[in-house]
Amino acid sequence: MSTIAKRANKIEVPDLMEGRGWHPLSWNDKEITQLPEYPNTEELQASFEELKALPPLITSWEIEALKEKLAKVSDGKAFLLQGGDCAETFDGCRSTKLVNLLKVMLQMSFIMIHEMGTEVVRVGRIAGQYAKPRSKDFEIVDGEKMLNYRGDLINSYKPNKEAREPDPQRLIEAYQKSALSLNFLRALADEGFADLQHPEQWELDFMHNNEFYKEYEQMVGSINNSIKFMETITPNNRFNTAHKVDLYTSHEALNLFYDSAQTRRVPRKQGWFNLSSHLVWLGNRTQQLDGAHVEYLTGIQNPVGIKVGPPFDIDNLLNLLDKINPSHEAGKIVLITRMGQENVEKNLPSFIRAVKQNGHPVVWSCDPMHGNTYATDNNVKTRNFNDIMKEIDLTFDVHRAEASYLGGVHLELTGDNVTECVGGANGLQEDGLSHNYETYCDPRLNYEQSLEMAFLIAKEWNQ
Ligand code: PEP
Ligand code: MN
């Protein structure tokens, strides 16, 4: 089974960068996994140049602000809530989806702030999460062998050979859809978002089947009272924190043509910034120390997430930390463990000890999704709410036992009423999955499951 380990199409490097150590395209000389070859390098070069000339999506100040907040998390003084689709799609760039995502992230963060008494840093898997690693290069549909779908940034989901070829025009469309998403999210977060905080927006009925329903109802009532109180004492105050919310963006740095075209220098600042996203992460399958993805990530100023999962190679992780964060800067690295609930107690303690011994200041976050995926008898990819919650609970337990701080969660979720994960108080069973199963990639928690999970995370926090 190949993972497409070879060199990517070669992009021309401007003379002034050549031979000067790291630059946004220095990865282009390295072996790369998980990125199929574009059929036409000239077209790729043209899209790359076009993308490189377009204005940035975000600013270096925002990146630095996020890094400061993450430094607080690594110090145990805040909590990170990262969430969103497994894979965004171009068609999914719609106002209702964006509103619903912001709404669920905001309500989850209110639950956490209220119940955990800590600041919450919100980061969406949004405005650029369009590229996917795959375990197989090809699939066969109706007898025809074609490249696997690798996210809208690379090829089309349509099951035909031509549509599955990597298309460089998608680099531009991903940028445009990210810009449209971000523009709307910023407007919502900046002004007029108060509507989403109001009592009638908190849908409670589904929690009836949860043993903690009474507690949950009281908590929502209390959050609503606090919001109303703030609005009463500071009416129309747009600097009121209840009116202005931050949602940072993130995506997997997988299609390096996309990320490097948007990696820029900023006047009066040292170094290079990936201005397509506040945070980018290194997936579990692209962690080769001499590979292209690691090379790219060693040169940017953004906070970087690193997935930690099977094959559980501690030495590789320590080497990654030394390479990506040699100065031990706080707020730079988020280690996102995704072990599978049955592996946490066995594998997590030694990672925590090794990182501590090496003196790296990191944010520890738990991705309870990717180690707990399974297929039903009807071959539907799903996850069980209880497995997801179990991985979170065990991860909290292990950190406590190691005198370490679990500072965040990383979830695949949506604000929509999809039926992709089973379980939770709404009692979704396997035979109900087909009702509203939308994802092209991994199954996500829906609105109700996400709120319930925020509540249970806060309960576990207070253990
Ligand atoms: C993901 O976050 O969607 C993903 C593919 O995760 P991982 O790299 O941990 O498998
Ligand atoms: Mn996923």
- The structure tokens listed for 345 are 């107690």
Q: Would you place residue 249 in the very low, low, confident or very high pLDDT band (cuts 50, 70, 90)? A: very high
Find the 283 Cα to ligand 1 centroid distance in Å: 5
Question: Of the given ranges (1-10, 61-70, 176-185, 373-382), which has the lowest mean pLDDT?
Answer: 1-10
Ligand positioned closest to the Cα atom of 135: 1
Helix, strand or coil, per DSSP, at residue 393 = helix
Atom of ligand 1 lying closest to residue 125 CA: 2
Find the 266 Cα to ligand 2 centroid distance in Å: 32
Q: Is 133 in the pocket of ligand 1 (CB under 6 A)?
A: yes
Q: Are 249 and 124 in contact (CB under 8 A)?
A: yes
Question: Is pLDDT above 90 for 193?
Answer: no
Q: Is 309 in the pocket of ligand 1 (CB under 6 A)?
A: yes
Pocket test for ligand 1, best of 125, 148, 367 (most atoms within 8 A of CB): 367
Q: Is 283 in the pocket of ligand 1 (CB under 6 A)?
A: yes
Give residues with Cβ within 8 angstroms of 303, minimum separation 6.
63, 66, 67, 70, 278, 279, 331, 332, 333, 334
Q: Are 83 and 324 in contact (CB under 8 A)?
A: no
Residue with CA at minimum distance from ligand 1 atom 6: 283
> How far apart are alpha carbons 178 and 128 in whole angstroms?
6
Strand residues in 303-371 grouped as ranges (E): 304-308, 333-337, 363-366
Ligand positioned closest to the Cα atom of 132: 1
Q: What burial letters (b/e) apply to 63-102, b meaning 16+ CB within 10 Å?
A: bbebbebbbbbbeeebbbbbbbbbbbbeebbeeebbbbbb
Find the 404 Cα to ligand 1 centroid distance in Å: 24
Other beta carbons within 10 Å of 448? 19
Amino acid at 303: P
Find the 231 Cα to ligand 2 centroid distance in Å: 38
Q: Is 307 in the pocket of ligand 1 (CB under 6 A)?
A: yes
pLDDT tens digits for range 132-150? 999 999 999 999 999 999 9
Q: Is 86 in the pocket of ligand 1 (CB under 6 A)?
A: yes
Give residues with Cβ within 8 angstroms of 28, minimum separation 6.
7, 8, 10, 11, 13, 256, 260, 292
Query: Average pLDDT for residues 259-267, to the nearest whole number?
Result: 96
Q: Is 338 in the pocket of ligand 1 (CB under 6 A)?
A: yes
Q: What is the pLDDT of residue 2?
A: 66
Q: What percent of the chain has pLDDT over 70?
A: 93
**Which CA distances in Å does 58 have to 38, 170, 232, 262, 266?**
28, 20, 33, 10, 12
Q: Return mean pLDDT, the chain.
A: 93
Helix, strand or coil, per DSSP, at residue 215 = helix
Residue with CA at minimum distance from ligand 1 atom 4: 283
Helix, strand or coil, per DSSP, at residue 450 = helix
Atom of ligand 1 lying closest to residue 442 CA: 3
Find the 87 Cα to ligand 2 centroid distance in Å: 7
Find the 281 Cα to ligand 1 centroid distance in Å: 9
Written as one string, the DSSP assignment of 228-270 is: HHHHHHSTT-TTSTTT----EEEEE---HHHHHHTEEE-TT--
Find the 422 Cα to ligand 2 centroid distance in Å: 16
Ligand positioned closest to the Cα atom of 129: 1
Q: Please count the helices (runs of H) and the strands (runs of E) in the chain.
A: 11, 16
Question: Is pLDDT above 50 for 242?
Answer: no
Question: Is pLDDT above 90 for 195?
Answer: no
Find the 85 Cα to ligand 1 centroid distance in Å: 11
Query: Average pLDDT for residues 224-232, to the nearest whole number?
Result: 80
Of 336, 337, 255, 266, nearest in space to 300 by CA: 266
Of 51, 85, 89, nearest in space to 175 by CA: 51
Q: Is 371 in the pocket of ligand 1 (CB under 6 A)?
A: no
Question: Is pLDDT above 50 for 23?
Answer: yes
Pocket test for ligand 1, best of 304, 317, 370 (most atoms within 8 A of CB): 370
Antiparallel, parallel or unpaired: β 119-125 and 138-141: unpaired
Radius of gyration for the chain, computed over Cα atoms and rounded to the nearest angstrom: 22
Q: Is 443 in the pocket of ligand 1 (CB under 6 A)?
A: no
Query: Average pLDDT for residues 71-83, to the nearest whole number?
Result: 98
Q: What burial letters (b/e) apply to 311-331, b meaning 16+ CB within 10 Å?
A: eeeeeebbebbeebbeeeebb
Question: Is pLDDT above 80 for 19?
Answer: no
Q: What is the pLDDT of residue 164?
A: 98
Q: Are 127 and 249 in contact (CB under 8 A)?
A: yes
Ligand positioned closest to the Cα atom of 443: 2
Find the 439 Cα to ligand 2 centroid distance in Å: 10
Of 355, 151, 342, nearest in space to 253 by CA: 151
Ligand positioned closest to the Cα atom of 439: 2
Residue with CA at minimum distance from ligand 1 atom 3: 86
Backbone angles phi, psi at 423, to 5 degrees: 90, -170
Residue with CA at minimum distance from ligand 1 atom 10: 284
Q: What is the pLDDT of residue 228?
A: 79
Question: Is pLDDT above 70 for 89?
Answer: yes
Residue with CA at minimum distance from ligand 1 atom 1: 86
